[in-house]
A and B are shown apart, each in its own frame.
Chain A
Amino acid sequence: MTDETVISAKDLSLTFQTNDGPVHALKDVTLDVRKGDFVSFIGPSGCGKTTFLRCMADLEHPTGGTITVNGVSPEEARKSRAYGYVFQAAGLYPWRTIGGNIRMPLEIMGYAKAEQDQRVARVLELVDLAGFEKKFPWQLSGGMQQRASIARALSFDADILLMDEPFGALDEIVRDHLNEQLLSLWDRTDKTICFVTHSIPEAVYLSTKIVVMSPRPGRITDVIESPLPRERPLDIRDTPEFIEIAHRVRDGLRAGYGDAI
């Protein structure tokens, strides 16, 4: 693994001008993400996790500081299709089959038909949905839809995966299963993943780096480099190391809430 920096934010700030005055969604956020990192962002609601991810994706424009993705501006990175973005809701197009949904970015990016077929088949395999290509989204469970949307983000093989609470709406068991799959996918493909979550166990289980954030203004309060090995069976969650990191995350979160609780 190299130490190449993939995402680099320096003193990044973003202030939304609203009718109730300015909202400091991000203030002086500095963070480096190395290639192959699995970074989780955790923090109370409104601390700017989504906003940070959207800045990386060039869906939001920072009002201060700098951010680079693959060494270039987020806009250039977006135009060179450097990342796949998984939104909180699966957001599949109801009028397209699962295969058609995954094909959508490939069509837009101008892949040849044969290449499209091949890639659709490959990513469906990857997320365990082989055989569902011809089904429509409503014929799939919520968890399967979310997997399909991950497959869609994977289909054009971007090196960076930005995921905003992709498993937020799923039950614990399905979530565990998808977490495992996501980890093994990350392990096999050596992608860089930025992952927003509200769940401490999820963050600790998945990440090589946990970024704890706090609101008003949105900022980073702690960055934890996980000592856990790359290989992580589900029961690693009962080990003392795991519990220790979870504690540290919890403490960081508490501090972020301040006197509110």
Chain B
Amino acid sequence: MRNVVPILTVVCTLLVIWYAAAVWLNAPWAYNKAERAGIELNFADLVSDTWSQDKPKLPAPHQVGAEIWKTTGEMVLNGRGFSKRSLIYHSWVTFSATALGFLLGTGLGIALAIGIVYNRTMDMSVMPWVIASQTIPILAIAPMIIVVLNAVGISGLLPKAMISMYLSFFPVVVGMVKGLRSPAPMQLDQMRTWSATPAQTFWRLRLPSSMPYLFASLKIGMAASLVGAIVGELPTGAVAGLGARLLAGSYYGQTIQIWSALIMAATLAAILVGLIGVLQRITLKRMGMA
């Protein structure tokens, strides 16, 4: 557990900066209130006020922590862990879109990569489009995807997942093309001397060689999926999901709610990427490559 000390140091530093920033950013409102009430603020008053405002510019960490606890742990204790007001419920909604989009994106990415590696025409023609697709701002294309899919009668989870997929297939294509091409010419010659079929060469050489590349891409793809799912919740006026919480929070100036949704999103991302890391370690270990 040699990691604990450096990690704690970083976390403490961040908290200190955060608390200081909260004082600094929320001070004008605190002075404003004091002026109207006709009282002088000493430093202790100032600090305690800036750390406990209702709608602060920047909520203090403990306020966000309390809000998160109120909408997760406490609701679980009350047996309402999955009610529509609970962050667990909203995280779950976002997670399901993320997971579906991630699976679709990974599938699409691998399929495209195989096409690009095995088909000369695709090699020459697909990659520019793949890159072009990522230069369009997702915020511009997300509403269109949702409107179009709605028009053909698809709504709910799938449109959000499509946006996730749109973001997550890209790193997978790029990584897998590189991975599937990573066997050395000698290894390919070796397969040829055994007169292996293309399918055998794929399953026994190209695919295993690409695993380290795949996992690196999956981590990026997973994070991108989550962003996609949240972005997908913004323009739809969705009522559920972390994106919806962000949007609702910003409508009503509920900065504490925004921040707790943000922290939840970050935690979710960390967990999902961490899961892929575990999967990576297990797989590569079993392959003798780690």
Contact = CB atoms under 8 A, between A and B. Distances in A.
A66 interface: no
Most chain A C-beta atoms within 10 Å of own C-beta, residue among B184, B191, B193, B287? B193
Interface residues of A, number: 26
Interface stretch (B163-171, B200-208, B264-272): B200-208
A109 B194 contact: yes
B153 interface: no
A97 interface: yes
A196 to B, nearest CB: 14
Interface residues of B, number: 19
Interface of B: 184, 186-187, 189-196, 200, 204-205, 208, 211, 287-289
15 contacts: A57-B193, A59-B193, A78-B192, A81-B195, A91-B190, A93-B187, A94-B288, A94-B289, A96-B288, A104-B194, A108-B191, A108-B194, A108-B195, A109-B194, A137-B288
A108 B204 contact: yes
Contact of A79 (B187, B195, B204, B205): B195
B208 A87 contact: no
Contacts of A87: 186, 189-190
A217 interface: no
Chain B binding surface, main DSSP class? helix
B205 A93 contact: yes
Contacts of A59: 189, 192-193
A116 B70 CA distance: 62
Contact of B289 (A79, A95, A107, A109): A95
Contacts of B200: 108
Interface of A: 57-59, 78-79, 81, 83-85, 87, 89, 91, 93-97, 104-105, 107-109, 136-138, 156
Nearest to B183: A93
Nearest to A139: B288
A86 B205 CA distance: 17
A138 B289 CA distance: 9
B204 A107 contact: yes
A105 B194 contact: yes
Given A87-B189, A89-B186, A91-B186, A108 B196 contact: yes
